[in-house]
A and B are shown apart, each in its own frame.
Chain A
Amino acid sequence: METTRAAQIKKPYIRLDPRTKLLVLLTGSFAALSAAPKSAEVMLILFLTLLLLNERQTGFAVKLLAVFAAMLLPDIFGASLLDGAAGVVLLAVTRIVRIYLPVCMAFTLVVKTTTVSAFIAALCKMHVSDKITIPVSVMFRFIPTVKEEWQAIRAAMKFRGIGISFKSVAIRPMLTLEYVMIPLLMSASGIAGELAAASLARGLDSGKARTCVTQVALGPADYPVMLAGLAIAVCAVAG
């Protein structure tokens, strides 16, 4: 076998349809933002953790579960004892973090575990227009590119003695902004043009129905997951 520095992409235990994941994101963010009782909150987090574990995002899932547990502690034990401003602030902060955690988990579930091709296929099946499907999939592909460009530009700036410290932003905000934006925009629009040429030269604009090498179909596992997602949302909203 050939050795490459690129790690193998993780395969889930049970493959879920991207549409199921999108539904989980939707119901999850609804549930998180309603005045859910703690039981529903815990259920939602455990549900999302299971889904992430299924996708082998173990490290991330465990980390967020731990944060959630830590944020639950003051609510159970300390906060009622801590009267006064400190208690209020502590409670508010932990509660807000707990609202954002499930949204963040569900978002990761959709973004990190779906290939571009499967994502396009799922959106097609949902009859989403190309006008959204293509930009969204290009965006996910382009985010790492922006990161690469940014790192190179940062290095170039250091060699030219252009810093982006608090000081430089405070003293010469306009100039600093210009030195950051110009190379970034120049190179990003160049790459975007080349990407467009390459994609079209490989028949992206065929007008035919695209097929997808990853099977995108609702399987036996998808329905229980969707139902569970909906049930948790209902529990949370109904209190």
Chain B
Amino acid sequence: MIKKKLTVKDLIVAGAFAALYVVIMLVIVSTASLTPVTWLMAPLLCAVVLGTVYMLYCMKIPKRGAILILGVVVSLVLSSTGGWAAPAWGIICALLAELLAALGRYGSKGWYAASFCVFACSTAGPFWMLVFAKAAVLATIENTYGAGFAARMDALTPPWIVPVVIGSAVLGGFIGGAIGKRLLKKHFEKAGVV
């Protein structure tokens, strides 16, 4: 362990990586949402691609709080696609990821990769809104068109969809973390960037 406190330099680097993370995430999500199936896969795809960004970020700022900051900033942006539930969920994910990184004493790549499995779930946040939005939609539809109509709509989005999406994000996090670890060694350590 070197220095534990976050410096202003760290905060600026954090902002830059957050921008990178967020831009890539939004590009993938907006491309994926062209079809419903790929839309459900968006958290998985994001996790696979973003693992490298996350791992490099953690190596650049191996300190307590870094992951939480990234989580908070990413969550704030996610709120644009789904109101308040996404950030709440994102911050929970970031806190758990921070915990896993702490178990590795902020120095273990293995633990960092593990923490990404949890962190990656934050992208599944907007899907919670499906649950809330559905309730809202069903309520209005039931008022206007009757229960039968609402029931048919209900069937379109089964309740197990959210856990499945979260599970896929964990899987994606595992793959993305592994890729990130590999590229760190292959490129960034060899080039002397971290």
Contact = CB atoms under 8 A, between A and B. Distances in A.
Please say whether the chains A and B touch (CB closer than 8 A): yes
Interface stretch (B77-85, B94-102, B107-115, B117-125): B77-85
A136 B18 CA distance: 8
A32 B76 CA distance: 17
Nearest to B130: A96
Interface in A133-168: 134-143, 145-147, 150
Contact of A146 (B11, B19, B129, B149): B19
Given A192-B16, A195-B12, A91 B132 contact: no
Q: Looking at B18, B49, B80, which has the most chain A CB atoms within 10 Å of its CB? A: B80
A177 interface: yes
A29 interface: yes
Interface stretch (A10-18, A47-55, A199-207): A199-207
Nearest to A206: B8
A192 B17 contact: yes
B83 A30 contact: yes
Interface in A62-120: 79-80, 85, 87-89, 91-92, 95-96, 99-100, 103-104, 107
Determine chain A's interface SS by DSSP, over half rule. helix
Contacts of A96: 133, 137
Contacts of A9: none
B32 interface: no
Contacts of A235: none
Nearest to A205: B8
A147 B60 CA distance: 22
Given A145-B19, A177-B49, A189 B13 contact: yes
Nearest to A26: B84
Nearest to B9: A196
Interface residues of A, number: 61
Contacts of B56: 185, 189
Interface residues of B, number: 55
A167 to B, nearest CB: 16
A42 interface: no
B140 A35 contact: yes
B15 A136 contact: yes
A33 B132 CA distance: 7
Contacts of B9: 196, 200
Given A29-B83, A32-B83, A185-B52, A135 B133 contact: no
B69 A135 contact: yes
Interface of B: 6-9, 11-20, 22-23, 48-49, 52-53, 56, 60, 65, 69-70, 72-73, 76, 79-84, 129, 132-133, 135-137, 139-141, 144-145, 149, 152-153, 156, 179, 183, 187-188, 191, 193
30 contacts: A33-B84, A37-B140, A79-B145, A80-B145, A88-B153, A91-B153, A100-B81, A103-B83, A104-B80, A130-B11, A131-B69, A134-B11, A136-B73, A141-B19, A147-B23, A150-B23, A177-B52, A177-B179, A182-B187, A185-B52, A185-B188, A186-B193, A189-B13, A189-B60, A191-B16, A192-B12, A196-B13, A199-B8, A200-B8, A200-B9
